[in-house]
């Protein structure tokens, strides 16, 4: 191609000749051919969408099921509980008093809480949790590489392990997720309800999802019970008749009563972990409170601020990056 460009020479007034322009166009075309994005040859088990911008686990349908478990009951709640309550409160105070304002607030919260839960669900489930790119495989025999070594963290010695799959010593708090088949920074756990691993980058959104679901359960149960109470306040209506007359409220109370034990317990557990700056994996594996001091504990307020008051860390790897197709290891250039 270079030889052809030289032979073509320059035309009049020093402008490139036609043959030179043709060669340049062909060169650019060949540069675009045979390339692909980094995620297309990624060695892990992740599933990618939107050209690598969205990253989730191999069993991503779990997030769809969780979405339906939230969305369907919330539609039932808004139609059969929140809207009747809104109309009752609005009609009982047509003068623009506190009840009418409360009616608008109730309807707004009934819509905002499910939106918060669903948005945080998809944020936690569709973003890179903190994947650490693999290092190139070492040449020759690896028996000389020590399996473990100690590093200092905040004045404490922490044991780190060599990972034969990713070819490096795992950073402190990192762990190789067997589902994604990649090392994750600040690994917490793999969550089938979210469809991916919870790590350093999506832990905040996972907590918002769990906490908002807990508040949503309490809110829907209270509103459903209040609607039944309003109906039973009628002198001609007994409590049993009021319950039978509001099947939507009865369904919601039974549904969230079951769900609150799960998300409520999970919220309490993660409040405990967050206050002590532990991950789920560390709590099960190391038991800092019983066996040794936690090197990551900065105090309750500082621990919470470390999760909620900092920017989301940048990705360790840009999966949308275009790379030459001949590059066999997509992590080699990182």
* Residues with catalytic function: 191
- 47 in helix, strand or coil? strand
- 183 in helix, strand or coil? strand
Residue 230 burial (CB < 10 Å; 0-12/13-18/19+)? middle
Using left for φ > 0, alpha for ψ between -120 and 50, and beta otherwise, residue 237 falls in beta
- The Cα–Cα gap between 85 and 77 comes to 11
Radius of gyration of the chain (CA): 29
Supply 122's token pair: 């998809």
| CA torsion angle 53 115 179 151 (round to 10) | 80
Using left for φ > 0, alpha for ψ between -120 and 50, and beta otherwise, residue 186 falls in left
Q: Which of these, 158, 270, 159, lies nearest to 213 by C-alpha position?
A: 270
- The Cα–Cα gap between 193 and 122 comes to 11
Q: Which of these, 138, 137, 195, 171, lies nearest to 316 by C-alpha position?
A: 171
């Amino acid at each position: 191609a270079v030889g052809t460009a030289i032979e073509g020479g320059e035309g009049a007034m020093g402008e490139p000749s036609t043959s030179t322009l043709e060669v340049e166009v062909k060169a650019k075309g060949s540069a675009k051919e045979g390339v692909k994005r980094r995620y297309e040859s990624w060695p892990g088990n992740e599933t990618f969408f939107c050209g690598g911008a969205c990253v989730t686990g191999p069993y991503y349908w779990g997030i769809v099921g969780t979405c339906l478990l939230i969305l369907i009951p919330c539609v039932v709640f808004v139609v059969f509980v929140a809207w009747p309550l809104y109309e009752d409160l609005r009609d009982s105070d047509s003068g623009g008093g506190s009840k009418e304002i409360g009616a608008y607030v109730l309807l707004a919260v009934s819509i905002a809480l499910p939106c918060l839960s669903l948005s945080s669900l998809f944020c936690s489930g569709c973003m890179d949790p903190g994947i650490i790119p693999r290092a190139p495989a070492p040449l020759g025999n690896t028996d000389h590489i020590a399996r473990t070594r100690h590093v200092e963290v905040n004045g404490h010695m922490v044991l780190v392990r060599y990972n034969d799959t990713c070819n490096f010593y795992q950073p402190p708090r990192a762990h190789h997720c067997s589902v994604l088949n990649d090392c994750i920074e600040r690994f917490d756990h793999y969550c089938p309800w979210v469809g991916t691993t919870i790590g350093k980058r999506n832990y905040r959104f996972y907590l918002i999802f769990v906490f908002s679901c807990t508040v949503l359960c309490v809110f829907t149960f209270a509103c459903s019970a209040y609607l039944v109470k309003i109906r039973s306040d009628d002198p001609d209506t007994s409590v049993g008749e009021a319950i039978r007359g509001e099947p939507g409220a009865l369904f919601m109370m039974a549904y969230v009563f079951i769900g609150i034990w799960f998300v409520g317990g999970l919220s309490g557990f993660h409040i405990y972990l967050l206050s002590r700056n532990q991950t789920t994996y560390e709590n099960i594996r190391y038991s800092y409170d019983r066996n040794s001091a936690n090197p990551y504990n900065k105090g309750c307020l500082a621990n919470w601020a470390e999760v909620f008051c900092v920017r989301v860390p940048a990705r360790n790897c840009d999966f949308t990056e275009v790379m030459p197709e001949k590059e066999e290891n997509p992590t080699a250039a990182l």
